[in-house]
Copies of this chain bind each other. A is one copy, B any other.
Amino acid sequence: MSNTSGTTPNVPRRLAEISQWDIEVDIPIVGFGGAGACAAIEAADAGAEAMILEVASASGGSTELSSAEVYLGGGGGTRVQRACGYSDSTENMFNYLMAAGGDLADEKKVRAYCEGSRAHFDWLVGMGAPYKDTEYKERAIMAPTDDCLLYTGNEKSWPYKNHADPCPRGHNLEVEGDNGGPLFMKILTEQVEKRGVRVEYNCRALTLIADDEGEVHGLVVRIDGEEKNIRARKGVILCAGGFVMNEEMVKQYCPRLKAGSIPIGNPGDTGTGILMGQGAGGALINMNEAFITLPFYPPSSLTYGIFVNAQGQRFVNEDSYHARIAYQAIRQSGHGIYLIVSADDYEHPKFLNAEIVGTGETIEELAEEISLDADMLRHTVEFYSKHASKGQDPLFHKSEQWLKPMEPPFAALDCTPGSGVIYAYFTLGGLDTLPTGEVLSMEGRIIPGLYAAGRTSCGVPRNADGYASGMSVGDATFFGRLAGRAVADQPSRS
């Protein structure tokens, strides 16, 4: 079942049984994605000797596969936010992210993130990340241009807009299209190399080394087929990604992701770091939660449509972020999720892969084609249109911008999970950590010597309902840095 090797990584090797150290370093870091890179840079800048252990043959991780958008703001606004006319207070950003996390929010992390967010933007700029002082104003999943700032979450949507003043916080690199990851990781990789941080590629982390009190002193890795014991003078940081590529773990912890169609991540997202940390006593939280998306825009014109469930009822404000739509869709009773649009608003969706399964000059005709109750669907559409003509949505408070009466002919896109439509997903659960990356046990004790960041930990993004693009790379790089700094500040163990 383990994806790592015959050796199960769950049980730490006992310190007392380690007869020799093959490598000694202040801070071994497992994983060279966004979190690991930032941890290494900060550790080096604080004067510590870091070393990165990467199972692949190159840096990158899932950050490289992403758009590398970062979700940042607060403190009066980042340079780009201010240039675009937005002054974003820390408190406003905090209120938004707490609402986004809902019952699942980690207030300490949200607080740290909002307070350090603007400085983190400046730090990324200092590393060499290019951001234009421009805004992309269309409704989009990511900017298709090299513009920087855009709304990437539910900031303007009910109920979130009741909790905080809407402000765009997605920061896109100055790269044409959905293409920021490679440049972003190239920049971070060069910064790591510039600092002379030792990197071992093709190096598989096998298990931690802990003493009998549970303190972590190092780890065992395999390099060129040989096991090596690496001593951590200060502490080990696990930045080995999430577990979306570990089918068994997904089945065990996120069984409802069966509704998903495409995992998002790199092949190394097999939960290695999570397994190692759990073996050392780390608590795993939020393991059932995931990002899941139904990317129905662009084109943004489809936002004029309405989503209905198998009962022919609306269930969400369609101006919500695409992941919120998916989150609500997979929770509906019965079988059938449809996006109903007026033909005038229809354009072929860019990413959705949904089929048109019904069309009609009348609602009755459409209802028959998609086997919904015609009375219900008619009432749903008529009720919606009646209020939309007045700029209102009394049920789900969709923004006026996206409200207009629906006009025949109609079309229905099949968004039913399992129909072939895209529901892409990745996991959001992992090790419970403090903002410093310190890993906690179930009783809330700190496990000495063990740190985690990125999707090996459970971070600021906690569920699809309140997700915004840029939260993952934002969180991974921000808390990767905090962990690097926190471990560097530890005394060396003799």
Q: Which residues of A contact B (CB under 8 A)?
A: 1-2, 8-11, 14, 17, 103-104, 159, 212-214, 248-249, 252-253, 255-256, 258, 271, 275, 278-279, 281, 283-289, 311-316, 328, 331, 333-334, 373, 375-376, 379, 383, 394-396, 432, 441-445
Contacts and interface: CB of A to CB of B under 8 A. Distances in A.
B315 A333 contact: yes
B311 A333 contact: no
A442 B373 contact: no
A249 B315 CA distance: 32
Given A1-B444, A288-B288, A11 B281 contact: yes
Contacts of A278: 283, 442
Given A279-B281, A379-B379, A395-B373, A212 B14 contact: yes
B8 A443 contact: yes
Contacts of A285: 252-253
10 contacts: A2-B443, A8-B441, A8-B445, A10-B281, A103-B258, A159-B334, A252-B432, A311-B314, A311-B396, A331-B331
A63 to B, nearest CB: 25
A312 to B, nearest CB: 8
The 5 closest A-B CB pairs, nearest first, are A103-B255, A1-B444, A311-B395, A2-B443, A288-B288
A341 to B, nearest CB: 21
B373 A379 contact: no
Contacts of A376: 383, 394-395
Contacts of A333: 159, 315-316, 328, 396
B103 A256 contact: yes
Given A11-B213, A248-B444, 7 more contacts: A252-B442, A253-B285, A275-B443, A278-B283, A288-B288, A375-B383, A376-B395
A483 to B, nearest CB: 21
Contact of A11 (B2, B214, B255, B283): B214
Contacts of A445: 8, 10
A213 B10 CA distance: 11
A458 to B, nearest CB: 10
A245 to B, nearest CB: 15
